Amino acid sequence: MSEHLREEEFIPYLDARLSDTERRRLDLHLADCAACRARRDELRALLGVLGEWEAVEPSPGFDAALQARLEEEAQRPVWFGLRPAYAVALAGAVVAVIGLLLWRSVPPTTGPPPVAQTPPEVVEPAPGGETPGLQAGDELAALDNPVLLENYELLEEFDILFEPAGKEEKKL
């Protein structure tokens, strides 16, 4: 046999719990395999030592002392018997739960309060084609006007408001 015996096969072999055919198969393997024989001898020595071991008998007052200690612990209040770290963790958890409940009880806000919007000022171009109040080349100053920025999307659709009107358009 080229395989070594498994650990599960040694114990029934040493306890004589195997059938005759299984025992013969293991005996043949042990005759050829020195490693398995060494392992069998180690386990046999270990089982011999364990067989000689005797359990220690508890002292005569052990049961009475154990019972008294159990009764003493049962009478101790639970909160004061906790370790300080457990008490702090429990208090923190209680605070977190209360905070969560308070936070969930506040109705959600739908956003900033509505601001009264004033319609944007329509600036009529001056006869020279420039916007009144602006110097020539100072178109970027118009971007400082918050009303223009706030309503940019609306004003973008009315781009004609910012272009100089031609003679035909003035007639309309």
pLDDT value, residue 1: 47
d(CA 91, CA 97): 10
When mean pLDDT is compared over 6-10, 25-29, 157-161, the highest value belongs to 25-29
pLDDT value, residue 51: 82
Contact predicate 30/40, CB 8 Å: yes
Contact predicate 147/121, CB 8 Å: yes
Q: Which long-range contacts (CB under 8 A, 24 or more apart) does 146-150 make?
A: 147/118, 147/120, 147/121, 148/120, 150/117
Contact predicate 149/143, CB 8 Å: yes
pLDDT digits (tens, 9 = 90+) for 132-141: 554 545 566 6
Domain edges within the chain: 7-52, 140-164
pLDDT digits (tens, 9 = 90+) for 78-127: 655 567 778 888 899 999 999 999 888 877 777 666 666 766 665 555 55
d(CA 41, CA 38): 5
When mean pLDDT is compared over 31-35, 57-61, 159-163, the highest value belongs to 31-35
Nearest to 42 by CA among 8, 86, 73, 11: 11
Of all residues in the chain, the percent with pLDDT exceeding 70 is: 59
- Note the helical H segments in the chain: 7-14, 20-32, 34-52, 62-75, 78-81, 84-105, 146-150, 152-157, 167-171
Residue 164 has pLDDT above 60, yes or no: no
Mean pLDDT score across all residues of the chain: 76
d(CA 134, CA 148): 14
| Amino acid code (one letter) for 58 | P
The residues near 23 (Cβ < 8 Å, ≥ 6 apart) are: 13
